[in-house]
Amino acid sequence: MKLDFLLLVDNRHLIISYDLIKLMKTLFNNYINTFRGLSQEVWWLALITLINRAGTMVLPFMSLYLTKSLDFSLSDVGWVMSAFGFGSVVGSWLGGKLTDKIGYYKIMFFSLLGTGILFIGLQFLTTFVSFCIGIFIVMVVADTFRPAMFVALSAYSKPENKTRSVTLIRLAINLGFSAGPALGGVIITTMSYGGLFWVDGITCIVASIVLLRVLNPKTAKTLDNVKNENPKSAYSDKAFWIFLAAMTLFGVVFLQYFSTMPLYYKDVHQLTELEIGLLMGLNGFLIFVFEMPLIKWLENTRYTKSGLMFFGAILTGLSIIVLNMTSWVGILIFGMALMTLGEMIAFPFSNAFAMQRAKRGNQGEYMALYTISFSVAHIFGHNAGMQMVSKIGFDNTWYVITMLAVVCMLLLFILKQYMKVRNDAQ
């Protein structure tokens, strides 16, 4: 009797184990299937982005390098970051113009190669003025890549795959940004800060060589190469300007998670650096596991891109205001999850919206303005958040940031109605 019972228990364990393995296999296959249908060129572009972003290890340690190695004051660091932001704006604008003139391939190649050489040279600038000028020039050259990359992504993607193509690039960026700081910490301890500039520069140059070999126009296949004989200027596209204003505000709200929020975690909730790192790492983990399946599912629903952006803005705004509702430390995890879900929905569909809209005119011009909207958010978002925290405290800052999210939602609602009246594709 006892032996029969043990055999029955063992059989049940085997059945449960088999069912669990079968379920895991199904989930894994479904996850892999969300990546199917993307062109080889999109995968190569994602690899180049991964190499480039994994090498971007100077930026997370920039403030430490400037204060510890060059003895800059915090005020000096603020001006350096402003030069960084303005360089990004100029680079994005210039990249869009040049992409329309000479094509995305040449711009991406020369941007990666030039950025690599300039990053290596940046370590030799040690005065405040020279470093401000240097970082400005580096960012002008580096961010010409962004609008060119978006135009290339559009050309290498079938119309029905554009949102998932953007999502793949975002996964590459997130993986690169996750690996970069970790590698950067190892390099600082073994080679000093100077090693960061060398490795960052070399990875950019390697990315340019990979681009040269795998995305050469003679061999790379374009699937959606749009040439508009009568292009409409992005500057006269009212719907696009409403969209840009909304995305700038969304950027300001979103960027608080990478400037004021870590201070809030430490000063108000007394989290350690390790705990803050784990909480920030949750964002990257959730994106890596869930974003592609989520986007694949949303693409097959009846929701419009403007409607999904609106929903993403709601979730991101809620992630800020919930922090004022309780002092319970678990709310930080809930807030991070809300923000990540909002980001996963808003960014891919805003990108796809911009690429779709760009077909009306010069694609480089449209994608440049789209990237500039986030560069502007970088210039003002970090500094405004810090100033508000120092003057009115964290709680009141979260109220103000939530109001900005509400204005963003209002603009996206206006965009949806504006396009509905004009029968524009949303």
CA 331 to CA 319: how far, in whole Å?
Answer: 9
Going 160 to 166 to 171 to 172, the CA torsion angle's sign is positive
Q: What is the pLDDT of residues 57-97, one digit of tens each?
A: 666 667 667 877 888 886 787 788 788 888 888 998 898 88
Q: What is the pLDDT of residues 235-272, one digit of tens each?
A: 888 889 999 999 999 999 998 887 788 888 888 888 87
Spatial contact of 300 and 183, defined as CB atoms under 8 Å apart:
no
Q: Is the pLDDT of residue 391 over 80?
A: yes
Spatial contact of 68 and 187, defined as CB atoms under 8 Å apart:
no
Second-level CATH architecture of 235-426: Up-down Bundle (1.20)
Which pLDDT score is estimated for 413?
Answer: 93
Which pLDDT score is estimated for 68?
Answer: 77
Collect all residues with Cβ–Cβ distance below 8 Å to 149 and sequence separation of at least 6. Answer: 45, 49, 104, 108, 169
CA 171 to CA 345: how far, in whole Å?
Answer: 13
Which pLDDT score is estimated for 179?
Answer: 67
Q: What is the pLDDT of residues 139-157, one digit of tens each?
A: 899 889 888 888 888 788 7
Which pLDDT score is estimated for 20?
Answer: 59
| Mean of the per-residue pLDDT values of the chain | 81
Q: Which CATH number does the domain 34-216 belong to among 1.10.3720.10, 2.40.50.180, 3.40.1790.10, 1.20.1250.20?
A: 1.20.1250.20
Please state the rounded mean pLDDT for residues 183-190.
75
Which pLDDT score is estimated for 161?
Answer: 73
Which pLDDT score is estimated for 283?
Answer: 80
Which pLDDT score is estimated for 14?
Answer: 56
Q: Is 24 exposed, middle or buried (0-12, 13-18, 19+ CB in 10 A)?
A: exposed
Which pLDDT score is estimated for 260?
Answer: 81
Spell out where 215-302 has E strands. none
Which pLDDT score is estimated for 345?
Answer: 92
**What percent of the chain lies above the pLDDT cut of 70?**
83
Q: What is the pLDDT of residues 281-311, one digit of tens each?
A: 788 778 878 888 888 888 888 888 889 999 9
Amino acid at 53: R
Which pLDDT score is estimated for 342?
Answer: 94
Which pLDDT score is estimated for 319?
Answer: 94
Q: Is the pLDDT of residue 206 over 70?
A: yes
CA distances from 169 to 19, 129, 152, 211 (A): 34, 35, 12, 15
Q: What is the pLDDT of residues 116-137, one digit of tens each?
A: 999 999 999 999 999 999 999 9
| pLDDT band, residue 321 (cuts 50/70/90) | very high
Which pLDDT score is estimated for 28?
Answer: 64
Q: What is the pTM of this model?
A: 0.76
Parts of the chain belonging to CATH 1.20.1250.20: 34-216, 235-426
Q: Report helix, strand or coil for 73.
A: coil
